[in-house]
């Protein structure tokens, strides 16, 4: 098994608040908590999950203050994880694993609190509440100080739907959360909604768009005025979901002749202003989007096709199978002319992208951060961090032999800390797997120079995560690793 295979192995016991050895010097202004989410438990009782996205959700917490770092992790307590960790069996269907249950059980039964959910993709905030998310519209709340699971968040509405994204956006104007949910039926539809910032779990419908074959869309784009749903030609017949008995993603079919469709919805009145067609491609993640002089610009991490999904099956990954690479692409949409044009943003591959989100989401921007593969090779896992200047295509790289970084999280420097007001004034945080020592570390980079500032050593290998957030806070005197005021 390749060295990076450690990232797809289940960890041992949960870790409870241990202080990490720090090499270098973490700036005093960096005070807060990096919360990470991702698959962690990959097998049980001699049976394994089939896909990376099937692993049971584990939360990771790096509490940072006064130059010190404390680490903890904990599995989310859900019916799915209880079956795996306590009953030692796989009871529920996952993204690509089917324990002899059909899709009816997952998508078309009435809501029950025991309904399977494995929120292993992302972390968001509903006001003051912290939630773990996946593509099933059942957020799971947890306590950010202890990582204890608090329960499923019940939406107080009748919006319905069976599939959503784990990447809600903040409205660039109001700050409300915006997302969409797919309702599978004889005539399926995408339902775009708003969720207020007060944390009330109630969704307000903004608009809907009907489709015969819904696309698999892991994320979407937002600008100051529009929501843009990018329908890649990986689509499903809803009846197949109901009748095939196959895992969720294996019901989808790649139909490149459809091209990629850009559905532009006005958030003010919910009307679809345009549906534009471009060349076939696939993407998990959008980078950013904005509008300018009647045109829309959509930046995303594009693959030539959907084969990346097959490449992420665990048997393939552990055997060192080829890993397709995503290219950072910009698509220019001209609704007036009805055209879509695309061009690469840089020569490096890019995945798990992040930007200076609070300042630049839905607006013109300059810098994107992500992970990539050295020299675009497909015979290794993601082994470098990448910073792209989207204006001129310039790149900065960080890499270390035998090391595999995860999603880089940008943390802007606060005013008054020698900041020059630049978009990249701050730090980049990433969890890195070191194969030679079967361990990991939290890497701290200067976002401007992309040079290492510090690292905090974890004694064991942290499984590859997907997404997370950094939450600022002030630590109380005499405490470490706690939320306080």
Number of domains in the chain: 1
CA distances from 410 to 106, 366, 417, 426, 428 (A): 36, 13, 16, 7, 5
Residue 275, domain member (yes or no): yes
What residues form DSSP beta bridges with 388?
368, 395
**H-run or E-run covering 309:** helix 307-311
pLDDT at 1: 52
Does the pLDDT of residue 11 top 50, yes or no?
Answer: yes
How far is C-alpha 67 from the geometric centre of its chain's CA atoms? 28
- 441 burial via Cβ count (<10 Å: 0-12, 13-18, 19+): buried
Structure tokens at 282: 């696939």
Residue 478, domain member (yes or no): no
Does the pLDDT of residue 201 top 90, yes or no?
Answer: no
**CATH code where residue 139 lies:** 2.130.10
Q: Look up tokens 């080829």; give the residue.
A: 322
Residue 477, domain member (yes or no): no
pLDDT at 419: 60
pLDDT at 418: 61
Residue 59, domain member (yes or no): yes
- With contact defined as beta carbons under 8 Å apart, do 373 and 323 qualify? yes
Residue 402, domain member (yes or no): yes
CA distance 446 to 450: 5
pLDDT at 244: 83
pLDDT grade for 116, boundaries at 50, 70 and 90: low
Which stretches does DSSP call E strand in 212-350?
221-222, 226-231, 234-235, 253-254, 260-266, 272-278, 286-292, 295-302, 327-334, 339-344
pLDDT tens digit string along 404-447?
Answer: 999 999 999 998 776 667 999 999 999 999 999 999 999 999 99
**H-run or E-run covering 371:** strand 367-372
pLDDT grade for 102, boundaries at 50, 70 and 90: very low
- With contact defined as beta carbons under 8 Å apart, do 271 and 293 qualify? no
**H-run or E-run covering 56:** strand 56-65
Structure tokens at 389: 């200047």
What residues form DSSP beta bridges with 18?
71
Does the pLDDT of residue 69 top 80, yes or no?
Answer: yes
CA distance 62 to 81: 23
Length of the chain: 485
CA distance 153 to 182: 19
pLDDT tens digit string along 154-183?
Answer: 888 889 999 999 999 999 999 999 999 999
Does the pLDDT of residue 106 top 60, yes or no?
Answer: no
Percentage of the chain exceeding pLDDT 70: 93
pLDDT tens digit string along 130-144?
Answer: 999 999 999 999 999
Structure tokens at 404: 């595999």
Give one word for 424, left, alpha or beta, with left for phi > 0 and alpha for psi -120 to 50. Answer: alpha
Mean pLDDT within 280-295: 97
What residues form DSSP beta bridges with 468?
36
Beta strand pairing status for 177-183 and 395-398? unpaired
pLDDT at 281: 98
pLDDT at 273: 97
Does the pLDDT of residue 241 top 90, yes or no?
Answer: no
pLDDT grade for 109, boundaries at 50, 70 and 90: very low
Does the pLDDT of residue 111 top 90, yes or no?
Answer: no
Domain boundaries, position 219:
3-472
**Phi, psi for 360 (deg, rounded to 5):** -125, -5
Please report the DSSP string for 404-452 in residue order: EE---EEEEPPTTSS----TT-EEEEEEEEETTTTEEEEEEEETTT--E
Does the pLDDT of residue 479 top 50, yes or no?
Answer: no
Cα pseudo-dihedral 472, 473, 474, 477, rounded to 10: -120
Radius of gyration of the chain (CA): 21
Does the pLDDT of residue 350 top 60, yes or no?
Answer: yes
First to last CA, the chain: 47
Mean pLDDT of the chain: 91
Is 241 strand, coil or helix? helix
CA distance 281 to 257: 11
Residue 483, domain member (yes or no): no
- The dihedral built from the CA positions of residue 405, 128, 363 and 264, taken in this order, carries a sign that is positive
CA distance 219 to 213: 17
Is 131 strand, coil or helix? strand
pLDDT at 113: 31
Of residues 11 and 418, the one with the higher pLDDT is 11
């Amino acid at each position: 098994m390749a060295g990076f295979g450690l990232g797809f192995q289940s960890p041992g016991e949960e870790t409870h608040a241990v202080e990490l050895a720090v090499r270098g010097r973490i700036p005093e202004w960096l005070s807060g908590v990096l919360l990470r989410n991702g698959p962690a438990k990959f097998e049980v009782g001699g049976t394994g999950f089939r896909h990376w996205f099937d692993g049971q959700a584990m939360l990771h917490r790096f509490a940072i203050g006064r130059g010190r770092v404390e680490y903890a992790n904990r599995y989310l307590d859900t019916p799915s994880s209880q079956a795996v960790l306590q009953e030692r069996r796989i009871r529920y269907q996952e993204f690509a694993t089917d324990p002899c249950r059909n899709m009816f059980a997952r998508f078309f039964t009435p809501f029950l609190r025991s309904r399977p959910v494995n929120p292993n993709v992302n972390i968001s905030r509903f006001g003051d509440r912290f939630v773990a998310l996946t593509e099933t519209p059942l957020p799971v709340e947890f306590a950010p100080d202890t990582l204890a699971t608090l329960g499923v968040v019940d939406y107080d509405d009748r919006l319905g739907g069976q599939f959503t994204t784990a990447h809600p956006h903040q409205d660039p104007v109001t700050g409300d959360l915006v997302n969409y949910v797919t309702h599978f039926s004889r005539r399926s539809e995408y339902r775009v909604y708003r969720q207020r910032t007060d944390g009330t779990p109630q969704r307000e419908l903004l608009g809907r768009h009907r489709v015969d074959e819904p696309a698999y869309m892991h994320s979407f784009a937002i600008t100051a005025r529009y929501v843009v749903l990018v329908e890649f030609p990986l689509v499903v017949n809803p009846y197949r979901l109901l009748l095939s008995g196959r895992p969720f993603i294996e019901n989808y079919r790649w139909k490149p002749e459809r091209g990629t469709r850009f559905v532009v919805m006005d958030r003010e009145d919910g009307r679809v202003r345009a549906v534009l067609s471009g060349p076939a491609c696939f993407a998990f993640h959008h980078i950013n989007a904005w509008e300018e002089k009647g045109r829309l610009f959509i930046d995303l991490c594009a693959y030539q096709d959907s084969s990346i999904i097959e490449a992420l099956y665990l048997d393939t990954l552990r055997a060192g199978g080829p890993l397709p690479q995503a290219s950072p692409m910009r698509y220019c949409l001209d609704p007036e002319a009805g055209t879509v044009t695309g061009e690469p943003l840089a020569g490096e591959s890019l995945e798990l992208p992040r930007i200076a989100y609070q300042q630049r989401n839905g607006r013109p921007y300059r810098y994107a951060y992500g992970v990539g593969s050295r020299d675009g090779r497909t015979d290794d896992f993601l082994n470098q961090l990448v910073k792209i200047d989207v204006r001129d295509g310039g790149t900065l790289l960080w890499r270390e032999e035998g090391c595999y970084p995860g999603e880089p999280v940008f943390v802007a420097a606060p005013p008054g800390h020698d900041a020059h007001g630049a978009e990249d004034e701050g730090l980049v945080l990433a969890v890195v797997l070191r194969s030679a020592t079967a361990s990991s570390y939290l890497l701290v980079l200067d976002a401007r120079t992309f040079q290492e500032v510090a690292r905090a050593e974890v004694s064991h290998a942290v499984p590859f995560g997907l997404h997370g957030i950094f939450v600022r806070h002030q630590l109380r005197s005499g405490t470490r690793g706690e939320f306080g005021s």
